[in-house]
Amino acid sequence: MHPAFSVIFLTTLIGAGQGLFLALFTGQFYSTVELVEAQTDTFYAIGSALSLALLVGGLGASFFHLGRPERAWRAATMWRTSWLSREVIVLPAMMGIVFLYGVFHWFGWTQPFIVLGEGTLPIDATFVLGMLGMLVTLALFVSTGMIYASVKFLQEWHSPYTIANFIFLGTASGFMLAAAYSALIGNQLVGFFGTWAVIATLLGLVTRTASLMRNASLKHRSNLQTAIGIRHRGIVQKSQGFSAGSFNTREFFHHQTPDALKLIRVAFMVLVFPVPIALVLLAYLLESSTLPIVAFAIQYLGLMAERWYFFAEAEHPQNLYYQQVS
Amino acid sequence: MTQLALVIDLNVCVGCHACVTSCKQWNTSGWAGPMVDENPYDANPTGTFFNRVQTYEVGSFPSTETVHFPKSCLHCEDPPCVPVCPTGASYKREDNGVVLVDYDKCIGCKYCSWACPYGVRELDEQQQVMKKCTLCIDRISDHTLPEAERKPACVIACPTNARLYGDVHDPDSEVSVAIRERGGYALMPEWGTQPANHYLPRQKTYMHLTEEDLQRSDNPLTKEDITVYQGEETMEDVTW
């Protein structure tokens, strides 16, 4: 498939935004039960604004993928059958919840209206919004992943690994950003967010490696024999029916050499996993306030390469029909 | 229920591309707007086409065969491109089974083209909506046309009658009989899309000749002439 930058930015930006929201609420939950130091409401409000900015940025990038962006509102109609439609509904829902979560924190509307667990777990509006947001975040990860995983013709994507990768890599990126944010303002949660970022990155390493291994030995169901229905081992295309390009040659081919593909794969395997983990560990040891920021930036760059490779790796069966110009 | 479809006879297709040009001519002139070309007279011409003729070589020399292979939307009975459409622009008509795109609803997200294993949907470069074979829906459903012309443009244009058109759910239709009796098959059956369009395989006609076919065995002048002639007038002298 042709990797479109609109979709690469969409999935990586909203992944980081979703992960950041998960990180903020995880931090809030831990401080509510007094496992980590309590943070000011401003910390959560500004963090929510950052998460919202990433979600808005991703949504904005997605418009560049559309031929007719002015009709984008129509995309919410077929939620019964289309995962793309479901994403179109869940993404704004998540933005709304993140916005409210930030607003409630900003104005300090955090008076608990009920206290559970014999006075240990006060529930306020932000707690409810956070729990709801976590569910919606998960729903958004699943919707985004299922857009790709549900297309059975793209066998490289048609696997639960696709969804696992979206969840773990997005979460890793968001927690990494939370660590960077904490490091920037100099609070005590750098280690807390960094640890979770490393855990999510390691989980992502497991599922991404598993999907790479699966795809390396993948046997495609279609071949030239089934494509044109002639049972012969020696079929060669002599003409695809036109002399220059068409939508079929632009949308479904990455037009890169196998070496370039290999290079990108190595690049993302290095930039997404070992380098950020090493930087977070180093930041912990040196108590550095800049290294977590570098770790997030490098991992985000790596995730863009990862997403590029995700598209380029997928081999569409229609390509069987477009092998030879004349 | 009716399922309109094409049956392509690979046995007689000569790869002349008349179906491609007639399709483009008819559909670019219709009410749905042009099928736009980019750089039509330049180095890299490209444009929207509903139908293409491809050419394949089967086997290696000297036992090779050239197969011309027209490809357009197969109007699947279970079209995978329809449920993935987020706007409902892609739909399958209830009354005749033709898969269509509502150009006024399409947002050009290209997701349906990913969900088609046959690569028969194309994004129009200027209108930025997804386009595909309509089976000339504006011809076949136009009752002001004489019945003989209520067929897709490609079917009418084909000089070798390699394109049959009709209802594949009617067991007695020309297309159903052709599929049944001449080994009609579907493309990529492994995906379960149940394409309505079928292809008829190439068939070779063999004739077995024996010595007796060349030398008429019951020729009375050779076989039954058992007379031993000895200088007198023979039958040959009489006839010639």
Residue tagged 């401003």 (tokens): A42
- Partner-chain contact A68 B83, CB within 8 Å: no
Give pLDDT tens digits for B42-68.
Answer: 999 999 999 999 999 999 999 999 999
Contact B59 A234 (CB under 8 A): yes
pLDDT digits (tens, 9 = 90+) for A262-302: 999 999 999 999 999 999 999 999 988 899 999 999 999 99
As a whole number of angstroms, the distance between CA B69 and CA B52 comes to 8
CB pairs under 8 A between A and B: 174
pLDDT score of B237: 64
Query: What burial letters (b/e) apply to B206-223, b meaning 16+ CB within 10 Å?
Result: eeeeeeeeeeeeeeeeee
In a domain, A56, yes or no: yes
pLDDT of A182:
95
Residue of A nearest to B183 (CA): A229
Do the domain assignments include residue A235? Answer: no
The answer to the question of residue A222 being in a domain is: no
Residues of B with Cβ-Cβ distance to A244 under 8 angstroms: 43-46
Closest to A309 measured CA to CA, from A246, A256, A245: A256
- Kindly state whether residue A179 falls inside one of the protein's structural domains: yes
Domain extent for A251: 5-217+241-321
Taking CB atoms and an 8 Å cutoff, what residues of chain A touch B49? 242, 246
**Secondary element (H or E) of residue A172:** helix A160-185
Distance CA B43, CA A316 (A): 27
Confidence of residue B111 (pLDDT cuts 50, 70, 90): very high
Instruction: State whether residue B2 is helix, strand or coil.
Output: coil
Minimum Cα–Cα distance from A86: chain B residue: B86
Count CB atoms within 10 A of the CB of residue A318: 23
**Range in A253-257, B13-17, B151-155, B235-239 with the lowest mean pLDDT:** B235-239
Minimal-distance CA residue of chain A relative to B115: A151
pLDDT band at A230 (very low <50, low <70, confident <90, very high): very high
Alpha-carbon distance of B104 to B124, in angstroms, equals: 13
CA distance B103 to chain A (A): 10
Q: For residue A116, what pLDDT band results from cuts at 50, 70 and 90?
A: confident
Q: Which residues of A touch B122 (CB under 8 A)?
A: 246-248
pLDDT beyond 80 at B228: no
Domains in chain B with CATH codes: 4-200 (3.30.70.20)
Question: In which residue are the tokens 């067929």 written?
Answer: B151
Reported as a single tens digit per residue, the pLDDT across B12-35 is: 999 999 999 999 999 999 888 899
Nearest to residue A165, comparing CAs of A212, A229, A95, A221?
A: A212
Which among A74, A88, A154 has CB closest to B114?
A154
How many beta carbons lie within 10 A of that of residue A115, not counting itself? 12
pLDDT tens-place string over residues B114-140: 999 999 999 999 999 999 999 999 999
Residue bearing tokens 């039960």: A33
CATH at residue A183 = 1.20.1630.10
| DSSP 8-state symbol, B185 | B
Domain total for chain A? Answer: 1
Q: What is the pLDDT of residues B87-100, one digit of tens each?
A: 999 999 999 999 99
Q: Looking at the domain assignment, is residue A24 inside a domain?
A: yes
In a domain, A262, yes or no: yes
Q: Does A316 map to a domain?
A: yes
> Quick check: helix, strand or coil at residue B181?
helix
Q: What is the pLDDT of residues A51-104, one digit of tens each?
A: 999 999 999 999 999 999 999 999 999 999 999 999 999 999 999 999 999 999
Q: Is residue A228 part of a domain?
A: no
